[in-house]
Structure 1
C-alpha cells in the first residue's frame, strides 16, 4: 500500500514541485549566493540562508501534511475507497499508516537534503545536530496530526482543500516565510510561539545556535500533536 501511495504521489506534479523541488532549489540558491550566505546585522547576525532553513522545512511539511493529506483522505472518503477497504485485508488503518509514513518520510528526506546543501556549499552546520533532528521529527509528527484532524472534520474534498490552504498560509506566515522571525515585533513573536509553525521555527533556530530548544517550543509541538491526534481519532469517519 505504501508503494501504491508513493506512485500516486508521483502522479501529482504540482504537489511534488511545490513541496519538494522548489524548497530544495531555494535552499541551494540561498546557500550559494554570497549576499544570502553571509551574516546580516538586521537578522541578528544570522544569514538569510540560516534564517530560512527552518522556514523551508516547515513549508514542505505544511504542503504535504496539512494541505495535500486532508484533501487526499477526503477524496478517498467521497469516492468510497475507505469504505471498500474495510472489507479487505488492506484496512483503512493500513492506508492511514502508509500515508503517515509517506508524507513524513518525504518531508524528512527533503529536510535532510536542505540541511546538507549549505554544508556541501561550504557553510558548516555548527549547531546542536541531535536537537535539530529531534525538533524536525516532532514538527513532522505535529503537522501530520494537524492534517489528520482537518481530514476528520472535512465533509468533502473541497472543504479539505480550502481549510488546508488557509492553514498553510497561516503556518507559513508564523514560520517567517514573508517576514523573517528575527524581525517579528515582540507581540507577534509571542503569538507565533504558540503556533505549531512558530514553535517549530524557534526550536530549530535555537538548535542551530547550539542550544537545546526552549521548553515552551517543545511543549507547544507536543500539545498540538497529542490534541490533534486524539480529536482526529475520535472524529474520523470512514464513509
Structure 2
C-alpha cells in the first residue's frame, strides 16, 4: 500500500509570503486610524460636512454661477471651490495630523511601538494615508456635486487633480514639520490652528484673491495655499498650472519634509 507523498513548499512560495506581514501591518494601522478619524465628530463636521454643504448651496444658487467683474471675471462658485478644497486639506493635515501625533507621543504610543515589529514609521504612514484619502474623497465630491447639479465641470480636470494632489503633499509636509517640532498636543493644536488660518487667508477665504493688492498677491503666490488656489482657478478655465506655481508647491513639499525628517522624535 503506497502513501501519497506530501507536496514540499517551494522557495518561490516562501518568497511570496515573506513580505505580507509588513503590508498587512500598514493596512491594519491605516484601517484603525480611519476608524478613529470617523469617531471624531468635530473634525468630521468641520473638515467634511461643512465644505460639502457649502459646495451644494453654492451650486444651487443661480446668482453664484454668474461671472462678476468684481471677482476678476470669475463667478462666486468658481472662486470658492478651490478655497473649500484647500479648507479640508489644511484642516486635516496642518491642524489635525500634528494634534494626533503629539497625543500619541505624549501617551507613549510611539515609544511602545519601537519595541514591537511594527515601527512608529508605519503608524506615521497610516495617519498620513488616512488623512490624505479623506481629503481626496472630499475633493472629488466637491468637484462632482456641482457638475451633477448642472454647473460646468473644470475645464481641465487633470490639471485640477494634479494641483489638488500637489497641495495635499505640501500640506502633509507642513503638518509633518509641526508634528516634529511641537512638544505636546496643546502646542501642536495651537501652531497648527494659526498656520491653518494663514493658509485659508492666502487661499482667498475671507478676501477673494482677485481683489488682493499687488504686493499681497505676490506674497500669496509664494505660499502653498495661494499658489494652489491660483492654479485651481486656472484649471477651472482649462489651463495648466504655471511652472512658478508648480515650483512653489514642490518647494513647500520637499523643504518642510526634509526638516521634519531630521527633527522628528518618537519620544
Q: Bin the TM-score by the shorter chain.
A: over 0.9
The residue aligned with 2:231 is: 203
The match for 1:70 is 98
Of residues 84, 97, 110 in structure 1, which corresponds to 2:125? 97
CA distance in 1, matches of 2:227, 2:132: 18
Q: In structure 2, what is the equivalent of residue 54 of structure 1? A: 82
Task: Give how far 1:183 is off.
Answer: 1.4
Counterpart mapping for 1:1-239 below 5 A: 1-239=29-267
User: For 1:2, what is the secondary structure of its paired residue?
Assistant: helix
Note if contact 2:85-2:139 (Cα within 8 Å) is conserved in structure 1: yes
List gaps (5 residues or longer) in structure 1: none
**Aligned equivalents of 1:220, 1:3: Cα separation in 2:** 32
Give the CA deviation at 1:126.
Answer: 4.3
For residues 168 and 234 of structure 2, the distance between their equivalents in structure 1, rounded to whole angstroms, comes to: 18
Q: CA deviation at 1:185?
A: 1.3
Secondary structure of the residue aligned to 1:125 is: coil
Larger Rg: 2
| CA–CA distance in structure 1, aligned partners of residues 207 and 140 of structure 2 | 24
> Is the contact between residue 2 and residue 99 of structure 1 (CA under 8 Å) also seen in structure 2?
yes
Q: Which runs of 5+ in 2 are unaligned?
A: 1-28
Q: Per the alignment, do residues 90 and 36 of structure 1 end up closer, same or farther by CA in structure 2, a change over 3 Å counting? A: same
RMSD: 0.8
3-state SS of the aligned residue for 2:78?
helix
- Partner-residue secondary structure (3-state), 1:192: helix
* Aligned positions, number: 239
Moved over 6 A (4+): none
Task: Compute the displacement of 1:89 (Å).
Answer: 2.0
Normalising by the residue count of structure 2, what TM-score does the alignment of the two structures yield?
Answer: 0.88
Partner of 1:118, secondary structure, is helix
Match of 2:26 in 1: none
